[in-house]
A and B are shown apart, each in its own frame.
Chain A
Amino acid sequence: MTNALSILIAALLFPGGAFALTFGLALKGADRRLAARLQGRVGPPLAQPFFDLVKLGFKRMMAPTEAFEPMFFGAPLVGAAAMLIAIMLVPIAGVYAPAPVTGDLIVLIYLLAIPGIALMIAGSASGSPYGALGFSREMAMMIAYEGPIVLIAIAVALRVGLAEGSAPTFSLAGIVRYQHAHGMLLFDPLMWPAVVAFAFFYPANLGIVPFDIPEAETEVLEGPLLEYSGPALALFKIMSALKAVVVLGLGVALFMPLPLAGLAALAGWIVEMLALVLVGVTAVRVATGRMRIDQAFVFFLKWPLMLALLSLVVAAWSTMGGIP
């Protein structure tokens, strides 16, 4: 029973639920403020995403007459609920280890696909041609970036598992434990291609310029989210904030968990997440323009996929050859 209680606390308070939502929105606010400063502007206050959510609660809900309403309103609900579950699977080094009964790395990767599916269903359930365009672009982007993340995950699992002399381990707690004992995978030359591939993967997953093609405002008028207003749109914003925490937390857990404990570990984790946001999200967002969908697709098939594959192959063969 204490197990169930601890899972419930993990789900609702920390690190899931309230903490994840607050932190995700704070990350988004920090990104907007940093981007504004990088562009020489003043920028919105850090709590701006919270104000956005509250404001959306006051707006009228609208639906197109051609929409399929159960799916139209169900899509953001499913996406946000899936991300709330996914948060519970991400370990925070030294502070929180996910209970095995909730799932391992494979479950997490498949859960990460659900917001994309929710966005696609939203686009197609709106009955709008722009939604259909957003649907097709989101599917293309998902095919593009899901390949690399699968290979990255398997590469890390192989590296950790085979180095410990057993089968590939997909338990995130185990991966964090290995890095506490043997040093972060960020500094492991065998994993550098995977790190670079991940650095390309997460802007695409989070929908950041230059990869924000499905929700391009100037091209498909916000694509799948075009017909949403009010609380339903707020749920989508919640889903994307939670997804940011999950994906960035996954990156930290896979490659750079700090060997600290307690409050220092939590502070270090927050600093690492902010660093990931600054480097991969903000700096990229203010410096680049949007790619076309075929450019992005070809790019992902070429570089991140090949890099992840390289890391995978190298990890498997070298650890089998006895290099620890």
Chain B
Amino acid sequence: MHLVNHMLLKDALFLVAGAVMLQGHATMLDELGGLGRRMPFTFGVFLLSGLSLAGMPPLNGFASKWLIYVAAFQSGHWALGAAAMISSLFTLAAIMRFAHAGFMGAPTAKALAAKEAPLAMLIPMGALAAGSVITGLFPGLLLVPIAAIESDLGFPLVAASLLGPLPGLEGWSPLALTALSLLFAALLAPWLWLGRKAGIVRNPVYLCGVSDIAPEETRAASERLYETPEAILRRALFAPEPAEGEKV
């Protein structure tokens, strides 16, 4: 099941990268920034696929990761399960860095010229994203065919129904969690909406009153975003530090 999910998500991410490269005419992450306002649909697909891949409940990437963890622990490979759980944290770090450096933050000159990707690129991205949402809400759609394959191969069956929750004694239902989260969002959103109705005051970013710094100078370059953990992990793993100014 993780195979299918991974395929849906990673392919969506590749398409996003292609759209960004096409529209931004850039290949390095540092040359772009603030694309979120100019390519909102692309950004939406990226966030959905990226966060799902990093394992954010109740999206489909997390559902299949959960199955793998439970299976690992039930078969006694707890060290592998622990390592897998910790590694998904670093996936999250990578996704967030791309999201920040590429899509949010202050725009660069190249990014200001970018527009939303053409429809021919948006439709496949949207289809893959829709696919991941559907398999997220109804994991049974994937698990029932998998159970059929398992019965052909003679493995013990995965207990799953088409519309039901994930299998196992402690199986949870992504549908229930998604419904609950939508309910909570609907309960909390009116407060924000009331605030919007009163009128949002828009003024420039707070820079302690300074007004003569250009946006490019306030951007944090993407390679500097994680310099603290990077430097510490480098020292911990006895890797050589890159020389000043050298890119890694």
Residues in chain A within 8 A of chain B (CB atoms)? 7, 11, 57, 60-68, 70-71, 73, 77-78, 80-82, 84-85, 88, 100-104, 106-107, 109-111, 113-114, 117, 120-121, 124-130, 132-133, 135-137, 139-140, 142-144, 146-147, 150-151, 154, 157-158, 161, 167-171, 221, 226-227, 230-232, 234-235, 238, 293-294, 297-298, 301, 312, 316
Contact = CB atoms under 8 A, between A and B. Distances in A.
Chain A interface SS verdict (over half): helix
Contacts of A312: 78, 82
Could you say which interface size class chain B belongs to? 35 or more
18 contacts: A61-B199, A62-B200, A64-B202, A66-B215, A71-B36, A84-B180, A84-B181, A113-B56, A117-B56, A117-B92, A121-B104, A129-B219, A139-B229, A143-B89, A161-B73, A171-B169, A294-B228, A312-B82
B155 interface: no
Contact of B57 (A57, A64, A110, A170): A110
Contacts, number: 235
A24 B4 CA distance: 40
Given A64-B202, A142-B89, A154 B192 contact: no
Contact of B188 (A81, A157, A168, A301): A81
A83 B58 CA distance: 13
Interface stretch (B113-121, B140-148, B171-179): B171-179
Nearest to B235: A298
A68 B37 contact: yes
Contact of B206 (A113, A221, A230): A221
A105 B70 CA distance: 11
Contact of B172 (A11, A57, A102, A234): A102
Interface in B66-83: 66, 69-70, 73-76, 78, 81-82
B89 A234 contact: no
Nearest to B185: A81
B109 to A, nearest CB: 15
B93 A11 contact: no
Contacts of A70: 40
B232 to A, nearest CB: 5
Contact of A167 (B73, B191, B201): B73
Given A66-B106, A78-B185, A102-B172, A226 B55 contact: no
A221 B201 CA distance: 20
B103 interface: yes
A279 B69 CA distance: 34
Given A124-B104, A129-B218, A301-B232, A77 B57 contact: no
